[in-house]
Structure 1
Amino acid sequence: MDKPLKTDNRPLLQVRDLRIGATAYPPGEPPRKIEIVKGVSFDLERGKVLGLIGESGAGKSTIGLAALAYGRGGVKITGGRVLLDGEDILGLGRRGIRGVRGARVCYVSQSAAASFNPAHRLMDQVIEATLRHGLATADEARARAVRLFGLLGLPEPETFGNRFPHQVSGGQLQRAMTAMALCPEPELIVFDEPTTALDVTTQIDVLAAIKSAIEQTGTAALYITHDLAVVAQVADDIMVLRHGETVEHADTRKIIENPDEDYTRDLVNVRAVRHTEAAEQSDRFFEMVGINAAYGPTPVLHDVSLHVPRGQTLAIVGESGSGKSTLARVATGLLAPNTGDVRFDGETLPPQLKHRTREQLRRMQMIYQMADTAMNPRQTVGQIIGRPLRFYEGLRGAGQRRRVGELLDQIEMGQGFIDRYPAELSGGQKQRVAIARALAAKPDLIICDEPTSALDPLVADGILKLLTGLQRERGLSYIFITHDIAIVRAIADSVAVMHRGRLVRFGPKSEALSPPFDAYTDLLLKSVPEMRLGWLEEVLSTRQIESADN
């Protein structure tokens, strides 16, 4: 084990030539060793935040977990040093590392919902690690937790911990997880995509809470994300990673205002897609009229009416729980409305999927948010895309394989992927396969339910370019469900803003995204992170002024 580095002003965390590997098991081939992280080095001082940014597979989370001396999912740290306050934690035994995790180094994951036990109250879970490591008495730990709940802007801090996880919102649960990480008073916290799964309005509150907590506690942090605009609001320095290697490492202002590397410049200037809205939008190729819908006794949609012209894109935007995806379920017949009609090309569709004809089903397809869960992992790409070809066109054998190859060419992947399994594809490739599966039915309308929200910006941009190109070539109509206003500006002809099951704004993009705004649309537009320093503080200041005025 390395001796602590001899210096009074040494950084809290020193990573030196870190190498991390894994074993790949390709179907039909012998196992092979792969290197995920290739000699990464950096320092992190006390009270500072280092942002780790890059696309999927860049090694961000793998490096973050190495700060806990942990390799996830068969990943193994194969070389280098991770020094915490001068001590190489990679050389600690099992007992030694248990004393580090949850005490000196804590971890905040992307999905707080998956990290809390639904059967236990929040307070018991927030103070658990603090008590287990003997860092405070039960009364002291509870007092710390209540203080942190207040610091993180959680409602009724004194009693908030009495709630169960299902009794709070996603944003509140994410802040509760941050409180859990801060409660042991650690030296370092690893934030792994802590706001990626949140709506932009909720993301602002969580970002502000995290930044404030770090400043007031003096804890150092690694902040892992694929969103450069987000990390620019909280990080002192940013390290850009790609394929397990460092592309660029500098202070935040340098990275966002004057990057040296082409890849970094691509990240800064992402969203190259630009779509000019159609001048004429009166055509009602697809229409939903007076839709009211409920889940059991709970009303979800309230008198929603909107339409999509042929060959155009309607973006439906709003936060979680606004009714966006429920509207898609009604459109596809997965949820029958209580009242209202769904009309397609002049024809009123049966409200339930099982009563729709094969032709009606063929003409309307859907692309889901999580391509992973929408595919059978035991089927090859050829089988996944081939299924609708067999169902709608009766294609089998060589004819089916030939058509699958054509579709793979259309989505710019190529026929070499036809025999691969989903596990062998990147996130962007999986989403392209999902698009090819939808295209296989030769639809007229495709409903895209957050198809890029789980993707890195550059990969997402490629998917948007593909979709807009296919629209031009084939005259496709899209309903694009999203909470990302940048995507709305990039691809939409018309915009529908949903809030608590109601349509609060609908019309051509140029009108819907121009003032005067209703209060909710104004909040939504102001919550989209901008790639500049000080943006978060400006937004919070504006909110405080508006709150005081009201």
Structure 2
Amino acid sequence: MTPLVQVSGLRVVARNDAGLDVPIVKDVDFALNPGEVLALIGESGSGKTTIALSLMGYARSGCRIAGGSIRVGEQQVLELDARQLAGLRGRTVAYIAQSASSAFNPARTLMDQVVESACIHGTLARAQAEAKAVDLFRALALPDPDTIGKRYPHQVSGGQLQRVMAAMAFITDPALVILDEPTTALDVTTQIEVLRAFKDVVRQLGTTAVYVSHDLAVVAQMADRIVVLRDGEVRENGATPQVLKAPAHPYTQSLLAAAAPAERDIGVAAPALTRLAPPLLEIRNLVAGYGAPDASGLPSRRIINDVSLTIARGATLGVIGESGCGKTTLARVVAGMVPGARGEVLLDGGALPACGHGRTREQHQRVQFVFQNADTALNPAHTIGGILARPLTFYHNLRGEQRRRRVLQLLDLVKLPAAIADRLPGELSGGQKQRINLARALAAEPDLILCDEITSALDTVVAAAILDLMAELRRELKVSYMFISHDINTVRAICDDIVVLYAGQKVESRPRAAPADAPFHPYSQLLISSVPQLRQGWLDQVCARGADPLPPLAPDTAADSGALCAFRPRCAVRVDGLCNRLPPPQQHLEHGGTILCHHSGADLALFEHAAPCAEAVA
């Protein structure tokens, strides 16, 4: 069979500060047959996306394709002029980016943007393109396929927007589709639906695809072949079963080892040492949301509903749940960014004012926030030294040489070289920027750091290094963390206690020492079973148990007010006549945790929980 894509001796260089060309992709070779899915994997900086973009004849600013050849079909990509490349991109080769939210124009409808490529390349008339778009929306399992195109990007969820972007790519029937980390920032249940939709469409259309990822478990579900990259070089190239079961290169072996987060040494558990003292943070019956107050004076749309929890000094609490469950809102209430409508937030037994402007400088200093997206959290116009210097001046009045020394100490603390102080954020990798994000929080010398999905967009190797760093800082500085994530494996690796949120309700809590098996709340079980396993066929097996996608995370009015279980519409073990009539009681379990459910812990341990794609049963 003649390969559809043939890459030979590809070299890409980038110009450094001294004006010299530095190779970042080094003599890469691979081939891709029609209908095949090839995965490019490796950690940040390995050259995955650079190689993928080269298939469209494109190199990012500061880079250039310096040699080699790329053939797609009958076209020699590197020999095309600008006009010919414009005809290639979006027609012969289509691209699905990592972040759909930043790829769409917020001022135009989804339909306008999906059909644009077909209209520009003249493959379809407008009416035909719209009809084909609707067919693709249906094939990609989007809700309301006949009308969703009339919406704007902000009116659909992240997972839905990612699938709309896939429709935009497939509408011209391209010979090759590039999927660049399309599910990296999605929560696990949304990822299942997006992966299933992508795989179904690839199969239906017989699409040839390049899938860029750092997640071997995801790659195992999508790819026929895997190319392993490091430092711009191919370390291994083989069929997916061979790479997963018998990796030949030590680097591939290390990636497989990093795929399962190891339990971190977090030192002596703080809660056991401070039972007589008040917890560092205590939240009592917190309600928060937005919208006009209802008859009870509470927000009409509640994001956090009657949540209580504690964090002991020196401890780490994990808060997990899918997008929209209230994790970030909870952290923002603690930080004073969002006011609580009811309940209390206590720091060392003292009440924190609901709004940030009512808090003292000391209260702000003691609670710091590390944001999910380091790219938007760091000012691109300021040097790293300037970014770290600001909290040192604001909270500790440090200036001059004393401040400069402390900046260098902070860089050393997060395992970064001193030379980085003079660089801009745009000159750092994703993992380095996230370390700077953490160093800025540490500059205030806080008691509590709120970490909001800080490893969700990082590759497994870099994420593991960040988790190791956090555990080390906790041991050395006795700092406490609230660690927000949708990844239950990551939370298990670093946290003393775990709280599971669903639609603003705390549906489960369990200590780290509790056995990693049943009983779980049905929603917790859904999260666990939604984490891709490192074996081929897992996605097909999971989704074969039920054809219908999960209902959206949108509790009914009664559940939203706290009267009923919010998870009931999606629950595989609900009892109609009970769960839809009475609020669930809190069940106390033998391991010290709690579950908000009508079923007892013993009953839940016996249930064979439904898989992520299974239909809910009465």
TM over 0.5: same fold?
yes
Q: 5 Å matches for 1:461-472?
A: 461-472=464-475
Give the match for residue 6 of structure 1: none
Cα RMSD, aligned residues only: 2.1
Alpha-carbon distance, 1:160 to partner: 3.1
Alpha-carbon distance, 1:507 to partner: 3.0
Give the match for residue 479 of structure 1: 482
Deviation sequence 1:56-87 (CA, Å, 0-9, x none): 22111111111111222243212111101242
Q: Does residue 1:445 correspond to 2:437, yes or no?
A: no
Deviation sequence 1:181-207 (CA, Å, 0-9, x none): 112111110111111121111111110
Partners of 1:115 and 1:429 lie apart in 2 by 24
Deviation sequence 1:225-281 (CA, Å, 0-9, x none): 121111111001111111211111111112222212222111111123435794749
Deviation sequence 1:502-546 (CA, Å, 0-9, x none): 222123135596423333222211111121111212221344574
Give the match for residue 222 of structure 1: 210
Query: Which residue identity is paired with 2:264?
Result: R
Deviation sequence 1:293-315 (CA, Å, 0-9, x none): 12343332111111111111101
Match of 1:43 among 31, 34, 46: 31
- Partners of 1:45 and 1:220 within 8 A in 2: yes
Q: 5 Å matches for 1:79-228?
A: 79-228=67-216
Structure 2 counterpart SS, 1:540: helix
Deviation sequence 1:334-388 (CA, Å, 0-9, x none): 1111111110111111222222222222222222212232223333333322222
Query: Which residue identity is paired with 1:373?
Result: T
Give the match for residue 568 of structure 2: none
Name the structure, 1 or 2, with higher relative contact order (CA <8 Å, separation 6+). 1
Alpha-carbon distance, 1:464 to partner: 0.5
- Partners of 1:239 and 1:250 within 8 A in 2: yes
- Partners of 1:51 and 1:224 within 8 A in 2: yes
- Structure 1 window deviating more from structure 2 (143-152 vs 479-488): it is 143-152
Gaps of 5+ in 1: 1-8
Partners of 2:169 and 2:515 lie apart in 1 by 41
Give the match for residue 4 of structure 1: none
Q: 5 Å matches for 1:391-470?
A: 391-470=394-473
Give the match for residue 566 of structure 2: none
Partners of 2:145 and 2:615 lie apart in 1 by 21
Match of 1:235 among 215, 223, 241: 223
Structure 1 residues 149 and 373 mapped into 2: Cα distance closer, same or farther (>3 Å)? closer
Gaps of 5+ in 2: 293-300, 548-609
Structure 1 residues 140 and 292 mapped into 2: Cα distance closer, same or farther (>3 Å)? same
- Partners of 2:283 and 2:310 within 8 A in 1: yes
Identity of aligned residues (%): 49
Alpha-carbon distance, 1:421 to partner: 2.9
Partners of 1:121 and 1:436 lie apart in 2 by 40
Query: Which residue identity is paired with 2:282?
Result: E
Structure 1 counterpart SS, 2:302: strand
Match of 2:15 among 18, 23, 27: 23
- Structure 1 window deviating more from structure 2 (199-208 vs 525-534): it is 525-534
TM-score, normalised via structure 1 length: 0.93
Structure 2 counterpart SS, 1:71: coil
Give the match for residue 327 of structure 1: 330
Structure 2 counterpart SS, 1:342: strand
Structure 1 residues 549 and 152 mapped into 2: Cα distance closer, same or farther (>3 Å)? same
Deviation sequence 1:163-192 (CA, Å, 0-9, x none): 333332221121111112112111110111
Aligned length: 538
Match of 1:55 among 32, 43, 66: 43
- Partners of 1:239 and 1:248 within 8 A in 2: yes
Give the match for residue 579 of structure 2: none
Query: Which residue identity is paired with 1:317?
Result: I
Match of 1:525 among 524, 528, 545: 528
- Partners of 1:313 and 1:479 within 8 A in 2: yes
Query: Which residue identity is paired with 2:322?
Result: E
Partners of 1:156 and 1:454 lie apart in 2 by 29
Structure 1 residues 304 and 89 mapped into 2: Cα distance closer, same or farther (>3 Å)? same
- Partners of 2:264 and 2:471 within 8 A in 1: no
Query: Which residue identity is paired with 1:462?
Result: A
Q: 5 Å matches for 1:296-311?
A: 296-297=291-292, 298-311=301-314
Partners of 1:418 and 1:167 lie apart in 2 by 40
Structure 1 counterpart SS, 2:131: helix
Q: Does residue 1:547 correspond to 2:550, yes or no?
A: no
